[in-house]
Amino acid sequence: MKKRIVNYLYTSVLLISFFVAPAAMAQQRIAAADLTVLEKKQDSLQQLSARMVFDSISGDRFRADSQFVRTFVRALVTKNSFYFPFDSLNISRLYAPDSAFRIFTWQMKKDDYVYLQKGAIQLPTRDGSLKLIPLHDVSMFTRNPMDSARTARNWIGAIYYRIVLKEFNGKKYYTLFGFDDFTVNSNKKWMEVLTFNDNGEPIFGGNYFSYKNDSVPRPTQKRFSIEYKKEARTFLNYDPEMDVILVDHLVSESDEPEKKWTLVPDGDYEAFKWQNGQWMHINKLFDQRLKDGEFPKEALLLDDAGKANEKALEEASRRNIQRAEQKQPPKTPVKKKDN
């Protein structure tokens, strides 16, 4: 399926990153000479990543991407590069919560309708050598991306903005949240579980999204996604205080739910709760529908990166002040005393 890039959305997603390996750890793990090499490589990579994203000429973007990949691999070969954050690059960089791996994702614009998504998983090694697993996006050639678990060779591409770690029976499950600038009129957000098999190979997806507790049960899904109107703002993220994944409930603006580009949030929230190695679907999390612009709790005043949404905070603060003023009794005029 053809896809389209919207630069401002792409840029906002690429700048999202979380790190559990701070600069202090990088300095402790990486030798001074190697750290100097990585910093110099990062300067070159920063320029190349900017060109492959923002250059107006398609051929120049592809050349920059090709140079970026080669230069990036040469940088990662540096001993203990796993602990170097590469925090100035125009790509998504996420460490797993337990530092078991980190994942890089980005996208390459071909034209106004088509883009390619790329990625790689880096794993730490005892001797500091490079262990890198490239990810090959086949979503453009996949009719039903929900049908099966997948490997690095047939990955459903997305730009990841969060990783949540859960465990069951001694095994670790990493839930990935990603953005997909899907078509000319719609975006997608993806959620799927990443595990590693006995050979250390990544497996994307599986029977992890269950709907058996719904009033009308549906088959278990291998992965989860929402597709919605290009201009709409949607929420798909994990809330640590409630220990659930919150998902905007979507409705069609034109009463045509089959047309995904008409879907927008209606103020309700669905959810997923981790139980016995699966994310169990909750059809409606809150009993009372929220008005436009309201949030079920303060923790939702965050963007998909988990960072403070300044505009939302400002609006919420303004509404709270207005409500407080409305509740105050009117002040009694004070009569002036005669001189």
Q: What is the pLDDT of residues 272-328, one digit of tens each?
A: 999 999 999 999 887 544 455 454 443 444 454 444 455 554 554 555 455 545 544
Q: Which residue has the higher pLDDT, 26 or 263?
A: 263
Mean of pLDDT values over 108-125: 84
| Confidence label for 6 from pLDDT (cuts 50, 70 and 90) | very low
Query: What per-residue confidence (pLDDT) applies to 312?
Result: 53
| Confidence label for 12 from pLDDT (cuts 50, 70 and 90) | very low
Residue 145 has pLDDT above 50, yes or no: yes
| Confidence label for 335 from pLDDT (cuts 50, 70 and 90) | very low
What is the pTM assigned to this prediction? Answer: 0.79
Averaged pLDDT of the chain: 82
The DSSP code for 292 is T
Query: What per-residue confidence (pLDDT) applies to 298?
Result: 38
Q: What is the pLDDT of residues 41-63, one digit of tens each?
A: 999 999 999 998 887 888 888 89
**Nearest to 264, CA basis, from 305, 227, 301, 315:** 227
Which H or E run includes 47? helix 32-54
**What percent of the chain has pLDDT above 70?**
76
Rounded Cα distance, 235 and 302, in Å:
10
8 A C-beta contact, residue 246 and residue 236: yes
Largest CA distance in the chain: 93
Query: What per-residue confidence (pLDDT) applies to 339?
Result: 36
Residue 332 has pLDDT above 90, yes or no: no
Mean of pLDDT values over 113-138: 92
Query: What per-residue confidence (pLDDT) applies to 62?
Result: 87
Distance of CA 183 to the CA centre of its chain: 18
